[in-house]
Structures are given as C-alpha cells and as structure tokens.
Structure 1
Amino acid sequence: KLADRATDFTQALLEKDADFRQAAAKFQLPVNETGEFTAAAPDSKLKADPQLSAAAFKLSAQEPNSDPVQVADGFYILHLVGVTETRPLTMEEAKPKIVDAIKKSRTRELMSSKGPELANQLREAAKSSAGSDLQAAIQKAGVKAEKLPPFSLFEEETTKSQDNETNQSKEPKSEQVSQGKEPKNEPASQSKEPKNEPPDLPMIKQAVAFLNAGEISDFVPSAENGFIAILEKREPFADPDAGEKKAAFEKKLLDNKQRIVLYEWLHERQQAAGLGSRKG
C-alpha cells in the first residue's frame, strides 16, 4: 500500500547518515526538486495542496525531512536542500516586486468576487436543454475554455516492487477550467492519465470528485488564476475493486479538507492570542 511505502521510506531516512536521494533510489521513488521559494510565492510544485507548502516551512537543518504528507494523488515526503538567507532589497529591486504584489492582490480580490458569480451563471446556463447556452455563457464571460484529456480519479500501486504507482483503475472524465482557464467538454476513453498533465490537476480531481455528470464545481483559486470544472461524464469502472478504491479516495479527500479546516482554525486562534506561527 502507498501508506506502507511512505512509512518505510520515512523510517529509512531516520537511519544514521541516511541520504535522501539514495534512499529514494532504493525505494524506486521519483524525486522532484523545487527552485527557491518563499511563503508569499511558493514553488509551483507545492501549489497542488496547501499542506505541502506548510510542511516545507517546518523543515530545518536539524530536521530536513518531513513526515509523509497525504494529498489527493498520494503521499509526499519533503527534504530541505538549503535555505537562502534574506537581505533587505534596494529600492530598485523592491519597486517591481511591490507593483507586482499590488497587481496580484487586486487580481485575487477580483477573482474572489467574480469567480463564484461566474460559477452560478454557468449553472443557470447549464439548466437549459441547449448546450449552446452554456458555451455562450463561457464566451460572454471572456474566460479561457480548456479541454482536459480523460484521467483517473485515483491511482493504484502495482504489485511489482520495481514499478512506480500507475493509474490502473480508469475513470475517465472531462472538465473545463475557468477564470483564467475554464471548462470544456471532452470524450472519455480508457487511456491512462497523460504525463503532460496540468499542474493543477490534483486540485481539479478534488473539485470533481463528488460531482455527477453535467454538474459544475464551485470556483477554485489556483496559483494566480483559478478554475471552474464541468464534469461531462464518468465511464464505468473496469476494475472489480474500483468501488472500494473510490470510497477510500473520497474518504482521503474529506480527511484532507477536515485537516485544512483545523489548521486554519488553529492559525486564527494563534493570531487572536498574539502568537506567531513558527516557520523552521
């Protein structure tokens, strides 16, 4: 199981003089390295789930490895490569950053108000029997419609130890993404999840996990824009164990959401008590 592999790998990192990359190679796990990032501007590889960025800032030279972090598409174990010391910026360096921060702040404010409004407009348009009404609403909003290839909601691990995780259980879907990207319909197939996948695919999976065919998700902020997903169809599961896997996947999503709500509540309580949050 994925959880067992994550636990075994974590235990291996606790051994004396353990090397992260060597241990990953031994367990045949892929390693993805981020660039330099800050809390205000996290690396794109950490944007798939808020837990990843939070876990990254708990790492230190004394404790460079994180515990397994469970997200929608599996488990992640983070390793601290290094920390760049901060220094005051010159006025010339700071000015473009300030301007960019103001633009992003205004964009986020606009999305937070317009995104939910657009989702409601699309739902109203979808109630019409004519599919052209929905397409007209998308065009009128001036957002980009993007077709996604079929993908599997959840992944399963192969029984062979030399194989990595694969998408054996197939549940093709199609969506559209909006407010910077916005949904379009797409035929289903039995192909595996493409490797050239959008970086926000894990968030899209979470958005459509509980939708029925034809339903539209809420607006989901993503990086500097956001999306609204429209689920065109689901294909029947070919895997006899797919029902159990889907139930486990949905439970994992609910657990993650509960954990995020708890973290937000704790953060609010810390701020109310005048306590700062530690960032290792």
Structure 2
Amino acid sequence: MEAAIGVVGGSGLYSMAALQNVQEIKVDTPFGEPSDVLIYGTIDHTPVVFLARHGRSHHLLPSEVPYRANIYAMKSLGVKYIISASAVGSLREQIKPLDMVIPHQFIDRTKNRIATFFGQGIVAHITFADPVCLALADVLATAAESIDLGTGKVRRGGVYLCMEGPAFSTKAESHLYRSWGADVIGMTNLTEAKLAREAEIAYATLALATDYDCWHEEHDSVSVSMVIDNLHKNAINAQKIIQATVNLITANPPVSEAHTALKSAIFTDLTKVSAATLDKLGLIIKKYLQ
C-alpha cells in the first residue's frame, strides 16, 4: 500500500475530511513509533497518507514529536511529496491572523532535537540553501490562491523561524526575530524539512497564522485560547487548499531536486559501514548501495 503524497497535520488539523476509503496503518521504524497511526485514503481517487504531527489527541510537545520516525514512515509508504500544515505566529503587520504563508526559508532556534538520520558510521551533508522544495511550494501557493479564503490572504515566500518551545516567545525575542527578517514563527517545520530532504522527499509548508506573537503592542499577547479559536477557523480552508494541491500534483507532478538530495551528500565509503547501520538506513540510502 503506497501513496506518493503525504500530509502532516499540525495543531488543529488532526484529520482530513476529504479522505475516502480510509485505513489506519501502524508503521514500525528503526527510529521508534511515529506520532500516531498513519491514515491512508484517497482524495479524488489519488492515494494520500495523513499523519497528525502531535498525535490525534495532541499529546506530544513540539520537542517530543518523533520527527525521524514520522518521515521514515512516510518514506516507507512511498511518499515523494509532503505537504505540511502548521500553526504559526505572525511577526509582520501585513501578515494578519487567518492569513496563509508558504515560506521559502527557515531560521533554526531549536536545541533539543535530532534532525538527521545519519551518524553511527555514515556521514552525509545535504545542501539546504533552499530548505523547502520551491517547485512544490509553488504548487501549494497556486492551490491556495485558487480557494476563497474569506478574509484571509495568501503570501508566497517568507522566513519561518523555528523555535524550541513549548513556551511562546518573550517580547525581546519576538522583536529580535523581527529584526532578523523572520516573517512567521513556529515550533516544528524546520526539523521536518531537514529530515525530508535527507529522505529525498519534496517538502513544503502551509503556515496558518493564528496570532501576532507578542511583539504587537495593539494586540493581546498570544494565548492558547486565541490560537485554538483561529485554528478552528483555519482548518476548513487548510483542507480545501490541501485537496486542491493534491489534484495539481496528480495532474502534473513537480520535478524536485529533493528527490536526488543524497546523490552528492554521502561522504562515507558505504562499503566500510557496518551491516547494522546499513540495515537501519537501508530505506534512505538503498539506491546508493551500488
């Protein structure tokens, strides 16, 4: 059972109403269990795999999400494109709550996560200048622009700052991130993007603005109730956008440099690597085991 398209749902997006012929799939990986069972189904006859990033009951902190297991599980089911939906805070006046952003860049402020499949005898250095697949991001933006979002608007490009969490930013931090040129702030997507690139999966983010973080003097500082309220408002639009994106990918699968990301990235002579490590990473590197 395989699907070329995977969807990772963040806060507020724990299921996909458009999925039909749904089946739950439990996947065991060398990196532990994924956040939840993977949901296999079809959207307009196209096979799609859905995974709730924090679990369907939202029981995982951003730092507790088993990112390696999640991406590995997607890879094991044949996923070549991942659409990530994620709640974010806005760091810009012009990005209002309920707007949608398709970021092209990330800044990493995480510190307690493993963000690579490699090690234990294999060294690989992926290129990451463009951390999302720009071809897939363009398809996602085109799909978003085709949907009536009500008061929300779509922004192509931008910088997503990925913080550790789970606490929201201090005001000093929020102003610092603005001075760095960051546009939105979240707690999950950069880790996924790195691992997806290592797994040679094209990855793009649909960032759903829920609040103005805490920098905006004329708006209340971010609260859980505010975020949840706007998440519910965003969920329907996000699902419409994802459905439209699936149809566009099916009609014309984008060519992605991510699909050959390891071609020049592996520094280690694989003939010298232990059998145990080769077995653990076989799914990721199998086409380079010549």
TM-score range, shorter chain: under 0.3
Which structure shows the bigger proportion of residues in strand conformation? 2
The structure with more radius of gyration: 1
Q: TM-score, normalised by structure 2?
A: 0.23
